[in-house]
Amino acid sequence: MHKPEKKPENNIVPPEGAQPPSAGQPQSAEEMIVLNKLFPDAHRDLDTLFPDPNMKKLLKEVVESRKRNERFVKKIKSEVATEEEESE
């Protein structure tokens, strides 16, 4: 009687045709964050100052959050201005 072989669970086999990620390349385009583009007015090279990918993700989230906040404030200001015009 033939017993099925036990495969270790941590032995992950990539699908056919898949290439293993290189050590120096990010796995997806989303992970490629260029801080110098996010902060164009910075007086330093932020990519060399913050090489950690987690820090880059955090800083990207800060930029996106700031943009959302600016849009929200702009929307409120335009609504207030519209209400003032209507009341006059």
pLDDT digits (tens, 9 = 90+) for 34-74: 999 999 998 999 999 999 999 999 999 999 999 999 999 99
Name the region of 17 (left: φ>0; alpha: ψ -120 to 50; beta: rest). left
> Within a 10 A sphere around the Cβ of 35, how many other Cβ atoms?
20
Paired tokens of 31: 């992970």
What are 37-47's pLDDT values in tens digits? 999 998 999 99
* pLDDT the model gives residue 29: 45
Distance separating alpha carbons of residues 9 and 57, to the nearest angstrom: 30
Q: Answer whether 26's CB lies under 8 Å from 32's CB.
A: yes
Helix or strand holding residue 78 (H, E): helix 53-87
